[in-house]
Each structure stands twice: as C-alpha cells, then as structure tokens.
C-alpha cells in the first residue's frame, strides 16, 4: 500500500510542479514576450515597411553588414523562423551564407530580445542559470557578452559559408546558371518581389 501511495503522491506532484512552472511563465516571460512582439510590429509600422526593406537591401550589399546587421534586423523584427525570408533580398549564391548567419543568431538574440526565439528561450535561461546562481550581478554583462559573441560568430559563419558556396558552385560547374541568377537579381528581380 505504501508503494501505491508513494506513486500516487509523486504522480500528482509531477503535475503540480508543471503547473507551478507554467504559472511562472504566464506571470513572468509571457507578458514580456507579448509586449516585445507588439513593440517590434509597432516600430516596423511607424518606420514603414518600405524603409525597413531598403535598409535590409542596403545591408545586403556589403559582406560585413550582410552577415551582421542584416541577420540582426531579420531576427529581431521578424523573429524565428520568419527571419530567414530576408534572404530573398540577396543573390542566390549568398542565400546559404545568410541562412547560416541568421540561424546561428537565433539563440544569442534571446539574451536581450526573448521574443525573437521564444520557443527556445530555455537555451538562454540554461546558460544564465549557472551564472545567476554564483553571481546574480553578472547577468547584464553575461547577456551583453552572449549577444556580442553571437555577432562575431555569425560574421565568421557567413563569410566562411559564402566562400564555401562559391567554391562549390565553381567546382560543380554551375557558374553559368548562377550568372543567370545574378543577371535576374541585377535587373531588380528577387524571389517574392516584383518583376
């Protein structure tokens, strides 16, 4: 009988713990995420979608901004997974590198902008939990370092992936096909855009 009683107590205890965790999310992170999402959509509306699009197209022109500013804007404004759609503003040969940079930034961004990848906020909370246990005052410094290191990593990954993509295009003999893509891009045609 003691075994059955222990199983029943611990079985319901599991659900009690889950309910407490859920209550913490509803009163803690959930309102923050909703407010941040609303703020990002309001900023995009105030600035204007056309201006945001022009800023993204400008950022796509230069390698350093293509793999830093462009993924940062995409991840913060559109959140994961919609942020990858900013790749449509790039020539075909640069899309894999942009995707690599953007997908690598969806975790470091949660340090300051948890709305950008709310489904995986546990990565940031896991990283920060140990630091908070030892030194609660180091939270802001850790968040800043996590964010900055994320930017450095996405730049490196973007540059390396772009180089590898160009190498594979050349090695595979696909230069002519990608020259066609480049000509279409230069004429103002980009995926999802107007001809």
Instruction: Provide the pLDDT for residue 144.
Output: 92
CA gap 87, 99 in Å, rounded = 7
Contact 69, 155 (CB under 8 A): no
| Angle in degrees, CA 161, 157, 100, rounded to 5 | 70
- On the question of pLDDT at 14 being above 80, the answer is no
| Angle in degrees, CA 137, 28, 18, rounded to 5 | 110
Instruction: Provide the pLDDT for residue 163.
Output: 96
- Mind listing the pLDDT tens digit for each residue in 160-186? 999 999 999 999 898 888 888 888 877
CA gap 23, 96 in Å, rounded = 40
H helices within the chain, ranges in order? 2-27, 29-47, 49-59, 63-66, 69-78, 95-105, 121-134, 139-171, 175-186
Question: Is the Cα dihedral 28, 34, 40, 43 positive or negative?
Answer: negative
pLDDT band for 194, please (50, 70, 90 cuts). very low
Contact 65, 99 (CB under 8 A): no
CA gap 40, 75 in Å, rounded = 11
Domains of the chain by residue range = 48-186
The pTM assigned to this predicted structure is: 0.70
User: 9-13, 78-82, 152-156: which has the highest mean pLDDT?
Assistant: 152-156
Contact 101, 157 (CB under 8 A): yes
């Amino acid at each position: 009988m003691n075994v059955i009683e222990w199983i029943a107590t611990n079985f319901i205890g599991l659900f009690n713990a889950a309910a407490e965790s859920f209550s913490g999310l509803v009163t803690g992170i959930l309102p923050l995420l909703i407010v941040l999402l609303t703020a990002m959509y309001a900023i995009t509306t105030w600035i204007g979608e056309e201006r945001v699009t022009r800023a993204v197209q400008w950022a796509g022109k230069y390698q350093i901004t293509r793999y830093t500013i462009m993924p940062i804007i995409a991840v913060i404004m559109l959140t994961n997974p919609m942020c990858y759609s900013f790749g449509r503003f790039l020539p075909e040969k640069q899309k894999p590198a942009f995707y690599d940079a953007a997908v690598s930034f969806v975790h470091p961004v949660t340090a300051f902008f948890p709305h950008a990848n709310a489904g995986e906020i546990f990565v940031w909370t896991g990283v920060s939990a140990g630091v908070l246990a030892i030194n609660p005052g180091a939270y802001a410094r850790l968040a800043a370092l996590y964010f900055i290191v994320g930017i450095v990593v996405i730049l490196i990954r973007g540059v390396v992936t772009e180089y590898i993509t160009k190498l594979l295009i050349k090695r595979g003999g696909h230069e002519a096909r990608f020259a066609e893509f480049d000509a279409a891009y230069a004429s103002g045609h980009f995926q999802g855009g107007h001809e």
